[in-house]
Structure 1
Amino acid sequence: MNYIYLLINVAVIFFPLVLSFDKKVHFFSKWKFVFPAILLTGMVFLVWDVLFTKLNVWSFNPRYLIGINLLGLPLEEILFFLTVPYACIFIYECLNAYFPKNGLQKYSLAVSNLFLGLCIAILFFGYNRWYTLINFGFLLIVLAYVEYVNVEFRFMYRFYRAYLVSLVPFYIVNGFLTAIPVVMYNNKENMGFRIGTIPFEDHFYLMSLLLMNIFLYELFKGRAAKLINKGDY
């Protein structure tokens, strides 16, 4: 039983890793952009995770852990920031490769504005709960930066498509983690509203995690392309 969280991590990354050598997607050839994006994003979210663990926003059930801890976090939780982003960026690239045309492009800014408004509204009512405050505050900052400060490249229409598809494995994985439960939430620090056993905030935690990873991934790809065009890469 103490291998449950580790097995969930393995299950999350297994098929994306095996299928990374698909001839159409060639995801393995993009690893040089994928892993730096995952590493930088993971550092930010690990700080967040350590803080929330100390503040008792959430905790981990030792019955389902192998017992190795780093920075006060279970090893499995740290691996989560590798396996989940890898799988989500893989989904993003598969959709881009197999469905290059995207009808959502003209609606992406309106969707972003809707989410920005939602973040502001929720922060107004939920600012006194740690998970709600940090989660929606962080998403507000990242989303506003990507849409209104970043003018170098646009990718949000592809991001929203990948996010919607990623919700399918999200419900499976987070469903297990919160139903067993492997991860236990302190409802005093969130809105107390759940979809099944999954806290409402988790949906936007995934959005923040995926958005930062894909933004950095596209940033690194774009800079490499510029160097190639200049003949310096």
Structure 2
Amino acid sequence: MEFLEHHFFYFILMIFSLAYPLAQSFERRINYYSKWSRLLPSIIVMMILFIPWDIWFTDLSVWQFNSDYICGIKFFLLPLEEWLFFIIIPFACVFIHEVLNYFFNKQLDSGSYIKIAYSLACILAFFSVIYSDRLYTLICFSLTSLSLFILAIHKPNWIGTFFRTYFVSLIPFLIINGFLTGSFNETPIVSYSSSQIIGLRILNIPIEDSMYNLLMLLIVISIYERKSTLK
């Protein structure tokens, strides 16, 4: 399809990701727009970590962006669309978080999710050591493992709702990242150096990306929920 072979393809994906959450932000039950003042600093803090990381890995060719699918505007090696990714995807995921909290039980059994956090942290720590020669695997798994250990130790009352949001967000994650990595289109927008990842993929998405997404979401929701309790 011509839509999939376009210089604005990545940009269109981001607009598509933003459209529904933005349109529903003013829906009176969720009232998402009134929470943007908490969301903005949460996203900024996350970007302070993720943008330099992204620039570093782009410079090292851990991943590369296909010039056929981006508009061509770049800031510090990163396409404009990549900057938008770090704003729009957290915006959409926190919208999912708010919707789930509104329509479903906001108080979930923390004990089970603390065990999940500890277990996943241990697994990631193990694989970050085993694959310490793969830069993306090492950095992504070790940072996510550390963050999950901290999460489990602090036992916030929102730990259950965080994991619920993460698991639900995996559905749009597979769709959007599927397009980014060439799962549904002929060539990927983002390609990865095979020497810097484990090689295990979901569709064409490196398994590391799922933990990258978890870490990004965990940072944003941690700050977002903390600001909620301080309000």
Instruction: Give the TM-score of the pair, scaled to structure 2.
Output: 0.93
Structure 1 equivalent of residue 33 of structure 2: 28
Tell me the secondary structure at the aligned position of residue 142 of structure 2. helix
Equivalenced residues, count: 222
- 1:105, CA displacement in angstroms? 3.1
2:54 corresponds to 1:49: yes
Contact 2:11 2:81 in 1 (8 A): yes
- 3-state DSSP class of the match of 1:24? coil
Distance 1:101 1:167 in 2: 20
Letter in 2 for 1:178: T
Residue 103 of structure 1, CA deviation = 4.6
> Is the deviation greater in 112-121 or in 78-87?
112-121
- Segments ≥4 residues shifted beyond 4 Å: 101-104
One-letter amino acid of the structure 2 residue matched with residue 73 of structure 1: L
After TM superposition, the score normalised by the length of structure 1 is: 0.92
* Residues 97-147 of structure 1: CA deviation (Å, up to 9, x unaligned): 110255553311111111111111111211111100110111012112222
Match of 1:165 in 2: 168
2:221 paired residue number:
214
Q: Report percent identity of matched pairs.
A: 35
Q: Give yes or no for the alignment of 1:70 onto 2:57.
A: no
Residues 165-220 of structure 1, C-alpha deviations (whole Å, 9 max, x = no match) = 10000000000000131001111000011111110111111100110100010112
Q: Is the 8 A contact 1:119 1:140 kept in 2?
A: yes
Structure 1: distance between partners of 2:220 and 2:106? 22
In structure 2, how many angstroms separate the alpha carbons of the residues matched to 1:102 and 1:164? 17
Corresponding residue of 2:43: 38
**Aligned pair in 2 of structure 1 residues 137, 27: CA closer, same or farther (>3 Å)?**
same
- Structure 1 gap ranges (5+): 225-233
Once residues 16 and 32 of structure 1 are traced to their aligned partners in structure 2, the CA distance between those partners, rounded to angstroms, is: 16
| Alpha-carbon displacement from aligned partner over 1:24-53 (angstroms, at most 9, x marks no partner) | 111111011011101110121001100110
Residue type of the alignment partner of 2:165: A
- Kindly state the Cα deviation for residue 92 of structure 1 after the two structures are TM-superposed: 0.6
Partner of 2:3: none
Aligned equivalents of 1:73, 1:82: Cα separation in 2: 14
Partner of 1:177: 180
Query: 1-side partners of 2:200 and 2:78: how far apart?
Result: 25
Structure 2 gap segments, 5+ residues each: 1-5
- Tell me, in whole angstroms, the C-alpha distance in 2 between the residues paired with 1:121 and 1:137: 9
- Alignment-mate amino acid for residue 164 of structure 1: F
- Report the CA distance between 1:7 and its aligned residue: 0.4
Residue deviations 1:31-85 (CA, integer Å, cap 9, x gap): 1101110111012100110011011110000001111000111010011000100
**What RMSD in Å do the two structures reach over aligned CA positions?**
1.2
